[in-house]
Amino acid sequence: MDGEWWRKKWVAWAAAAAIFVVLMLVTPAIPQDEDYHDFADQRDLFLGIPNTLNVLSNIPFLFVGLAGLILCHYKNYFRLCSQGELWSWTLFYAGVTAVGVGSSYYHLYPNDATLVWDRLPMTIAFTSIVAIFIIERVDDRAGTKSLAPLVIAGALSILYWSFFDDLRPYAVIQFVPCIVIPVMAIVIPPMYTHSSYWLWAAGFYLLAKVEEAADKPIYRWTHDIVSGHTLKHLCAAMVPVFLTLMLAKRTIEPDR
Protein backbone atom coordinates (compact mmCIF):
# COMPACT_ATOMS: atom_id res chain seq x y z
CA MET A 1 0.00 0.00 0.00
CA ASP A 2 2.81 2.38 0.93
CA GLY A 3 4.62 1.61 -2.34
CA GLU A 4 1.45 2.34 -4.31
CA TRP A 5 1.09 5.70 -2.54
CA TRP A 6 4.66 6.67 -3.43
CA ARG A 7 4.12 5.59 -7.04
CA LYS A 8 1.02 7.76 -7.38
CA LYS A 9 2.83 10.68 -5.77
CA TRP A 10 5.75 10.53 -8.19
CA VAL A 11 3.42 10.09 -11.17
CA ALA A 12 1.51 13.22 -10.10
CA TRP A 13 4.70 15.26 -9.71
CA ALA A 14 6.08 13.97 -13.01
CA ALA A 15 2.84 14.85 -14.81
CA ALA A 16 2.86 18.35 -13.32
CA ALA A 17 6.50 18.85 -14.32
CA ALA A 18 5.82 17.60 -17.87
CA ILE A 19 2.86 19.98 -18.28
CA PHE A 20 4.98 22.87 -17.03
CA VAL A 21 7.83 22.06 -19.45
CA VAL A 22 5.40 21.89 -22.37
CA LEU A 23 3.89 25.25 -21.40
CA MET A 24 7.37 26.80 -21.24
CA LEU A 25 8.18 25.42 -24.70
CA VAL A 26 5.01 26.45 -26.50
CA THR A 27 4.30 29.84 -24.92
CA PRO A 28 6.28 33.07 -25.39
CA ALA A 29 8.11 34.75 -22.53
CA ILE A 30 6.14 37.29 -20.51
CA PRO A 31 8.40 40.24 -19.58
CA GLN A 32 7.55 42.58 -16.74
CA ASP A 33 5.64 45.59 -18.06
CA GLU A 34 7.41 48.71 -16.80
CA ASP A 35 4.07 50.55 -16.76
CA TYR A 36 3.13 48.24 -13.87
CA HIS A 37 5.04 50.57 -11.54
CA ASP A 38 3.08 53.63 -12.71
CA PHE A 39 0.38 53.65 -10.04
CA ALA A 40 -2.50 56.11 -10.02
CA ASP A 41 -1.93 57.49 -6.53
CA GLN A 42 1.64 58.74 -6.16
CA ARG A 43 0.94 61.41 -3.55
CA ASP A 44 3.22 62.20 -0.64
CA LEU A 45 0.49 62.97 1.90
CA PHE A 46 2.43 63.16 5.16
CA LEU A 47 5.58 62.17 7.04
CA GLY A 48 7.53 62.40 3.80
CA ILE A 49 6.32 58.93 2.76
CA PRO A 50 6.17 58.65 -1.05
CA ASN A 51 3.10 56.86 -2.43
CA THR A 52 1.68 57.21 1.07
CA LEU A 53 -1.59 55.29 0.84
CA ASN A 54 -0.10 52.44 -1.20
CA VAL A 55 2.57 52.07 1.49
CA LEU A 56 0.41 52.38 4.59
CA SER A 57 -2.38 50.16 3.25
CA ASN A 58 0.02 47.21 3.71
CA ILE A 59 0.03 47.58 7.50
CA PRO A 60 -3.00 45.23 7.95
CA PHE A 61 -0.94 42.37 6.48
CA LEU A 62 1.68 42.89 9.18
CA PHE A 63 -0.80 42.85 12.05
CA VAL A 64 -2.87 39.92 10.79
CA GLY A 65 0.24 37.90 9.95
CA LEU A 66 1.82 38.44 13.37
CA ALA A 67 -1.46 37.61 15.13
CA GLY A 68 -1.76 34.40 13.12
CA LEU A 69 1.82 33.38 13.91
CA ILE A 70 1.24 33.90 17.63
CA LEU A 71 -2.06 32.01 17.65
CA CYS A 72 -0.57 29.12 15.68
CA HIS A 73 1.93 28.47 18.47
CA TYR A 74 0.17 29.77 21.58
CA LYS A 75 -1.26 26.74 23.38
CA ASN A 76 -2.44 25.34 20.02
CA TYR A 77 -5.19 27.99 19.93
CA PHE A 78 -6.23 26.93 16.43
CA ARG A 79 -6.45 23.24 17.46
CA LEU A 80 -4.31 22.11 14.52
CA CYS A 81 -4.28 18.33 14.25
CA SER A 82 -0.82 17.63 12.80
CA GLN A 83 2.68 18.98 12.42
CA GLY A 84 2.00 19.38 8.70
CA GLU A 85 -0.91 21.73 9.43
CA LEU A 86 1.14 23.64 11.98
CA TRP A 87 4.07 24.23 9.62
CA SER A 88 1.85 25.04 6.65
CA TRP A 89 -0.17 27.63 8.54
CA THR A 90 3.02 28.99 10.10
CA LEU A 91 4.53 29.53 6.65
CA PHE A 92 1.28 31.08 5.44
CA TYR A 93 1.25 33.64 8.25
CA ALA A 94 4.98 34.24 7.86
CA GLY A 95 4.30 35.01 4.20
CA VAL A 96 1.45 37.36 5.10
CA THR A 97 3.65 39.17 7.65
CA ALA A 98 6.44 39.49 5.09
CA VAL A 99 3.97 40.91 2.55
CA GLY A 100 3.34 43.76 4.98
CA VAL A 101 7.06 44.56 5.00
CA GLY A 102 8.01 43.67 1.42
CA SER A 103 5.06 45.38 -0.26
CA SER A 104 5.58 48.54 1.81
CA TYR A 105 9.23 48.58 0.75
CA TYR A 106 8.27 48.09 -2.90
CA HIS A 107 5.75 50.94 -2.87
CA LEU A 108 8.30 53.29 -1.34
CA TYR A 109 10.53 52.75 -4.39
CA PRO A 110 8.51 51.01 -7.15
CA ASN A 111 10.84 49.19 -9.55
CA ASP A 112 11.64 45.64 -10.63
CA ALA A 113 14.33 45.18 -7.96
CA THR A 114 12.05 46.07 -5.05
CA LEU A 115 9.11 44.19 -6.61
CA VAL A 116 10.97 40.96 -5.85
CA TRP A 117 10.40 41.59 -2.12
CA ASP A 118 6.70 42.16 -2.73
CA ARG A 119 6.15 39.00 -4.76
CA LEU A 120 8.39 36.57 -2.87
CA PRO A 121 6.34 36.54 0.36
CA MET A 122 3.13 36.33 -1.67
CA THR A 123 4.36 33.11 -3.30
CA ILE A 124 5.10 31.67 0.15
CA ALA A 125 1.52 32.39 1.19
CA PHE A 126 0.04 31.02 -2.09
CA THR A 127 2.01 27.78 -2.03
CA SER A 128 1.38 27.20 1.68
CA ILE A 129 -2.36 27.46 1.04
CA VAL A 130 -2.12 24.74 -1.63
CA ALA A 131 -0.32 22.44 0.83
CA ILE A 132 -2.95 23.20 3.48
CA PHE A 133 -5.75 22.26 1.09
CA ILE A 134 -4.02 18.98 0.22
CA ILE A 135 -3.61 18.19 3.93
CA GLU A 136 -7.25 18.97 4.72
CA ARG A 137 -8.97 17.60 1.62
CA VAL A 138 -6.73 14.81 0.29
CA ASP A 139 -4.15 13.35 2.67
CA ASP A 140 -2.18 14.75 5.59
CA ARG A 141 1.05 13.03 4.64
CA ALA A 142 0.85 14.03 0.96
CA GLY A 143 0.14 17.66 1.88
CA THR A 144 2.93 17.79 4.44
CA LYS A 145 5.48 16.37 2.01
CA SER A 146 4.33 18.75 -0.74
CA LEU A 147 4.86 21.86 1.41
CA ALA A 148 8.62 22.23 0.89
CA PRO A 149 8.57 21.50 -2.89
CA LEU A 150 5.70 23.95 -3.40
CA VAL A 151 7.38 26.76 -1.45
CA ILE A 152 10.70 26.14 -3.21
CA ALA A 153 8.95 26.17 -6.60
CA GLY A 154 7.38 29.50 -5.70
CA ALA A 155 10.72 31.00 -4.69
CA LEU A 156 12.36 29.69 -7.87
CA SER A 157 9.63 31.31 -9.99
CA ILE A 158 10.58 34.68 -8.50
CA LEU A 159 14.29 34.06 -9.07
CA TYR A 160 13.60 33.01 -12.67
CA TRP A 161 11.65 36.21 -13.33
CA SER A 162 14.34 38.30 -11.64
CA PHE A 163 17.15 36.84 -13.75
CA PHE A 164 15.38 36.25 -17.08
CA ASP A 165 12.55 38.83 -17.03
CA ASP A 166 9.98 36.10 -17.70
CA LEU A 167 6.82 35.94 -15.60
CA ARG A 168 5.50 32.60 -16.87
CA PRO A 169 6.57 30.46 -13.87
CA TYR A 170 5.29 33.11 -11.44
CA ALA A 171 1.98 33.25 -13.32
CA VAL A 172 1.62 29.48 -12.92
CA ILE A 173 2.35 29.70 -9.18
CA GLN A 174 -0.16 32.52 -8.71
CA PHE A 175 -3.04 31.38 -10.89
CA VAL A 176 -3.00 27.57 -10.70
CA PRO A 177 -4.13 27.68 -7.03
CA CYS A 178 -7.04 29.88 -8.15
CA ILE A 179 -8.23 26.90 -10.21
CA VAL A 180 -7.11 23.94 -8.11
CA ILE A 181 -8.39 25.17 -4.73
CA PRO A 182 -12.01 25.88 -5.81
CA VAL A 183 -12.13 22.53 -7.62
CA MET A 184 -10.88 20.71 -4.51
CA ALA A 185 -13.32 22.67 -2.35
CA ILE A 186 -16.25 21.58 -4.53
CA VAL A 187 -15.26 17.97 -5.23
CA ILE A 188 -13.68 16.83 -1.93
CA PRO A 189 -15.62 16.99 1.38
CA PRO A 190 -14.08 19.25 4.04
CA MET A 191 -12.31 17.89 7.10
CA TYR A 192 -13.44 20.85 9.22
CA THR A 193 -16.56 22.92 9.81
CA HIS A 194 -16.85 26.59 8.77
CA SER A 195 -15.35 25.86 5.36
CA SER A 196 -17.54 28.64 3.91
CA TYR A 197 -14.87 31.05 5.14
CA TRP A 198 -12.69 29.81 2.27
CA LEU A 199 -15.31 31.18 -0.12
CA TRP A 200 -15.32 34.56 1.61
CA ALA A 201 -11.52 34.64 1.38
CA ALA A 202 -11.63 33.71 -2.31
CA GLY A 203 -14.26 36.38 -2.97
CA PHE A 204 -12.16 39.13 -1.40
CA TYR A 205 -9.09 37.94 -3.31
CA LEU A 206 -10.98 38.16 -6.62
CA LEU A 207 -12.28 41.61 -5.66
CA ALA A 208 -8.70 42.66 -4.89
CA LYS A 209 -7.56 41.56 -8.36
CA VAL A 210 -10.38 43.57 -9.98
CA GLU A 211 -9.40 46.64 -7.96
CA GLU A 212 -5.77 46.18 -8.96
CA ALA A 213 -6.72 46.10 -12.63
CA ALA A 214 -8.93 49.19 -12.20
CA ASP A 215 -6.34 51.20 -10.27
CA LYS A 216 -6.58 54.40 -12.30
CA PRO A 217 -10.33 54.31 -13.10
CA ILE A 218 -11.16 53.92 -9.40
CA TYR A 219 -8.86 56.84 -8.60
CA ARG A 220 -10.79 58.96 -11.10
CA TRP A 221 -14.19 57.75 -9.89
CA THR A 222 -13.34 58.66 -6.28
CA HIS A 223 -12.12 62.13 -7.37
CA ASP A 224 -8.50 61.35 -6.48
CA ILE A 225 -9.34 60.24 -2.94
CA VAL A 226 -8.29 56.57 -3.10
CA SER A 227 -6.87 54.38 -5.86
CA GLY A 228 -7.77 50.86 -6.88
CA HIS A 229 -4.36 49.61 -5.76
CA THR A 230 -4.83 50.92 -2.23
CA LEU A 231 -8.23 49.22 -2.06
CA LYS A 232 -6.62 46.09 -3.46
CA HIS A 233 -4.27 45.93 -0.46
CA LEU A 234 -7.14 46.36 1.99
CA CYS A 235 -9.29 43.69 0.32
CA ALA A 236 -6.39 41.26 -0.02
CA ALA A 237 -5.67 41.68 3.71
CA MET A 238 -9.19 40.40 4.38
CA VAL A 239 -8.13 36.98 3.04
CA PRO A 240 -5.98 36.10 6.09
CA VAL A 241 -8.58 37.79 8.33
CA PHE A 242 -11.30 35.38 7.17
CA LEU A 243 -8.96 32.39 7.34
CA THR A 244 -7.99 33.36 10.90
CA LEU A 245 -11.65 33.55 11.88
CA MET A 246 -12.17 30.13 10.29
CA LEU A 247 -9.30 28.61 12.24
CA ALA A 248 -10.59 30.07 15.50
CA LYS A 249 -14.13 28.74 15.03
CA ARG A 250 -13.83 25.44 13.22
CA THR A 251 -14.04 21.90 14.55
CA ILE A 252 -13.57 18.53 12.86
CA GLU A 253 -16.56 17.48 10.74
CA PRO A 254 -18.33 14.54 12.46
CA ASP A 255 -18.45 12.57 9.19
CA ARG A 256 -14.67 12.82 8.76
CA angle at residue 235 from 166 to 49, to 5 degrees? 75
Helix axes 83-108, 228-249, angle to 10 degrees: 160
The CA distance from 101 to 181, in Å, is 27
Q: Which residues fall in the annotated binding site?
A: 107
Distances (CA, A) of 174 to 25, 127, 168: 19, 8, 10
From first CA to last CA, the distance across the chain in angstroms is 21
Q: What's at 140, amino acid-wise?
A: D
The CA distance from 215 to 105, in Å, is 19
Q: Are 101 and 134 in contact (CB under 8 A)?
A: no
The CA distance from 225 to 53, in Å, is 10
Q: Which residues fall in the annotated binding site for Zn(2+)?
A: 107
**3-state DSSP of 113-167:** HHHHHHHHHHHHHHHHHHHHHHHHHCCHHHHHHHHHHHHHHHHHHHHHHHHHCCC
The closest alpha carbon to 204, from 241, 170, 171, belongs to 241
